[in-house]
Amino acid sequence: MRLDMIGLTVKDIGASLEFYKQLGVDVPEKWEGPYADAMLEGGIRISWNDAEMMKSIEKNFIEPVGQRIGLAFLCDSPPAVDAKFRELTEMGYRGDSEPHDAFWGQRYARICDPDGNVVDLFAPLPTLDSEPQTFI
């Protein structure tokens, strides 16, 4: 058994696809109906599921509240975290946490997708011996 897909329940598939496209996900240009998916590096799929469709499938559907899952995107470098955060906020996406050097050894920021899910942007900070650290 292996993890095959991460599913997101969204209010507007198009808006969500545009956000994740800005983070480098190879999203579909066109899709039909209340569902879209894409293959991520490493062979795991990500899907966008219309909230109304999910309500019809799940008898006891409850509108998501708060953070139920975390998504984190590794950037090429600490300056790339700052640049991507600035780019996304200038496009109108809401920043949740400005880029900063986190105590666990990463340049770290948080941005919200169109549904309010907080997405992490990070890159390992160089250490004194110039070896990058990875914490996740």
Model pLDDT, residue 31: 93
54-96 residue pLDDT tens: 999 998 988 877 777 889 999 999 999 999 999 999 999 999 9
Domain 1-65: give its CATH architecture. Answer: Roll (3.10)
User: Do 134 and 123 touch, CB atoms closer than 8 A?
Assistant: no
Q: What average pLDDT does the structure give for the chain?
A: 92
What are the sequence ranges of the domains in the chain? 1-65, 67-136
pLDDT band at 129 (very low <50, low <70, confident <90, very high): low
Q: Does domain 67-136 have CATH number 3.10.180.10?
A: yes
> What count of other Cβ atoms lies within 10 Å of the Cβ of residue 99?
23
43-60 residue pLDDT tens: 999 999 999 999 999 989
C-alpha–C-alpha distance, residues 30 and 7, integer Å? 18
C-alpha–C-alpha distance, residues 28 and 72, integer Å? 20
**What pTM was computed for the model?**
0.86
